[in-house]
Amino acid sequence: MLGVSIAQEAAANDQIVVLTAQLGQAEAHLLGAEAQLAVARNNVAHTVIRAPFDGIVGNRSAQVGKHVVPGTQLMALAPPPEQLFVVANFKETQLHLMRPGMKVRLIRGHRSGDAVDGVVDSLAPATGALFSLLPPENATGNFTKVVQRVPVKLRIDAEQAKRAMWLRSGLSVTAEVDTRGPDAVRLGWWGTALAAIAGK
């Protein structure tokens, strides 16, 4: 009887070794299946084109069923009016009183009736020329002073932007900044500059 018990114990120990090996194989299969699932999810995600921001589609060249390769431009996306902002290039002589938070009026072309309000968001840390591809070098000794322009970001009031049907990316506006401060009721001293309406 004792011999039978010892034999059964040995068989059970052998079975434990076999089951442990099978468990390792099952865990390896599980890891492989999880990796395949991750690859499948990535492949499915690559079938969906996601825009970097909400906006309005224009200039669409993509068609249903068309094959495309990476790098192909499928459509242009313009931000909605409430996300538009203006980059105005003010002269350096107009900046000494300008501060973030000051009220701004943006006028469409020469039509004073088409206008929206906003605020000065930020002033660039340097002139536009300094950030150009070939910044000017004035080390020749023949220096002629040219009034530089500094980019100023102007935020448009979101509610007014929604109602202004004329607002589009890429348009030019005249920007009037009230330099009396953010609590001013009406526009006072102003500086004008052509400003390209930009998006997010």
pLDDT tens figures, 49-75: 777 888 888 888 888 888 888 788 888
Report residue 59 as tokens.
Answer: 């200039």
Across the strands, what pairs with 72? none
Q: Looking at this protein, which amino acid is placed at residue 25?
A: Q
Q: Contact at 8 Å (CB) between 75 and 57?
A: yes
pTM of the model: 0.61
> Can you give the pLDDT at residue 192?
41
Closest CA to 99 of 174, 181, 176: 181
Secondary structure of residue 49 in the 3-state scheme: coil
Q: What is the longest distance spanned by two Cα atoms in the chain?
A: 114
CA atoms of 42 and 48, how far apart (whole Å): 10
> Can you give the pLDDT at residue 170?
82
- What are the structural domains of the chain? 2-76 (no CATH), 78-134+145-198 (2.40.30)
CA atoms of 87 and 196, how far apart (whole Å): 6
Secondary structure of residue 22 in the 3-state scheme: helix
**pLDDT under 50: residue ranges of the chain:** 186-196
- The four Cα atoms 58, 59, 64, 69 give a dihedral, to 10 degrees, of -120
